[in-house]
């Protein structure tokens, strides 16, 4: 038994070294990441088209002002489940403004809209699979009399050859995450995958990192 276990250790040790050297995930094509969990689209996907859907949601073309609230940067990589970057994925993003109101005619939240907040963006990942946009931290909003949705950003990601992903990104250290009905429907590892990580600053703005894994058809 002792010999066997020593052999096993040796075997695993050697394999471990090789994996470390070659980054197995890239060279052997093993599945290394679970696809990002799906989440409901929700009722506030934009229904009125707008000219400006660029990567800076803190201003609207033609308007002379900046969106209210805390300006932040969200950035990350779109990858497949082998860890390979996916370039030119289409990333459709929408969210509430800093007060918790969507630019949607059926949003019942009585807090004001922000004419300087773009609210919706469609961007693409670059050749390294990376995307980046500037926005405001969304406010929490009531989904019912007893349920407050925590700050979150909706994503729809498309790339041919992959399943369309509809999901929601959450923020770290938000007490409302704990009591959110949607978030609590996810298991621990799914929750971890759906929470962005704080990742320093860019041009004085707080950066949140959020990586997305798409699954092939």
Catalogue the active-site residues.
102, 141, 149, 152, 154
User: Which tokens hold the place of 209?
Assistant: 């990192």
- CA angle, corner 97, sides to 115 and 64, nearest 5? 30
Question: Is 42 a binder of Fe ion (CB under 5 A)?
Answer: yes
Spell out, one character per residue from 85 to 124, where the chain touches Fe ion: x when CB under 5 A holds, - when not.
----------------------------------------
- The least distance separating Fe ion from the CB of residue 153, rounded to whole angstroms, comes to 8
Residue 82: other Cβ atoms inside 10 A: 15
Contact yes or no for 58/67 (Cβ under 8 A): yes
Instruction: Choose one: 35-43, 108-116, 117-125, 190-198; the region binding Fe ion (CB under 5 A).
Output: 35-43
Question: Is 142 a binder of Fe ion (CB under 5 A)?
Answer: no
Q: Is the dihedral of CA 172, 116, 88, 21 positive or negative?
A: negative
- The least distance separating Fe ion from the CB of residue 181, rounded to whole angstroms, comes to 12
CA distances for 210 relative to 141, 161, 169, 195, angstroms: 22, 22, 8, 7
CA distance 84 to 128: 9
Report the residue number, 86 or 96, with the smaller CB distance to Fe ion.
96
- The least distance separating Fe ion from the CB of residue 42, rounded to whole angstroms, comes to 5
Report the residue number, 37 or 42, with the smaller CB distance to Fe ion.
42
Give the chain's radius of gyration (CA, Å).
20
- CA angle, corner 178, sides to 176 and 179, nearest 5? 70
Report the residue number, 42 or 142, with the smaller CB distance to Fe ion.
42
Report the residue number, 109 or 129, with the smaller CB distance to Fe ion.
109
Size of the site for Fe ion (CB under 5 A): 1
Q: Which residue is nearest to Fe ion (CB)?
A: 42
- The least distance separating Fe ion from the CB of residue 34, rounded to whole angstroms, comes to 23
Contact yes or no for 68/114 (Cβ under 8 A): yes
Query: Looking at residue 184, what DSSP letter applies?
Result: G
- The least distance separating Fe ion from the CB of residue 201, rounded to whole angstroms, comes to 26
Report the residue number, 42 or 85, with the smaller CB distance to Fe ion.
42
User: Which tokens hold the place of 198?
Assistant: 């704080």
Site residues for Fe ion per CB under 5 A: 42
């Amino acid at each position: 038994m002792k010999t066997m276990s020593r052999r096993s250790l040796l075997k695993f040790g050697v394999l471990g070294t090789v994996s470390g050297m070659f980054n197995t995930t890239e060279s052997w094509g093993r599945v290394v990441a679970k696809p990002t969990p799906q989440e409901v689209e929700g009722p506030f996907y934009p229904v009125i088209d707008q000219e400006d859907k660029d990567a800076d949601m803190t201003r609207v073309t033609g308007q002379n002002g900046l969106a209210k609230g805390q300006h932040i940067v969200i950035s990350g990589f779109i990858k497949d489940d082998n860890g390979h970057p996916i370039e030119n994925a289409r990333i459709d993003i929408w969210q509430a403004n800093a007060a918790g109101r969507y630019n949607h005619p059926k949003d019942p939240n009585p807090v004001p809209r922000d004419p300087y907040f773009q609210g919706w963006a469609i961007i693409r990942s670059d050749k390294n699979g990376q995307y980046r946009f500037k926005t405001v931290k969304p406010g929490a909003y009531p989904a019912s009399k007893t349920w407050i949705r925590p700050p979150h950003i909706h994503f729809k990601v498309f790339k041919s050859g992959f399943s369309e992903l509809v999901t929601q990104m959450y923020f770290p250290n938000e007490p409302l995450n704990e009591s959110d009905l949607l978030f609590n429907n996810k298991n621990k590892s799914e929750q971890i995958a759906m929470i962005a990580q704080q990742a320093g600053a860019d041009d004085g703005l707080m950066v949140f990192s959020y990586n997305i894994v798409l699954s092939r058809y």
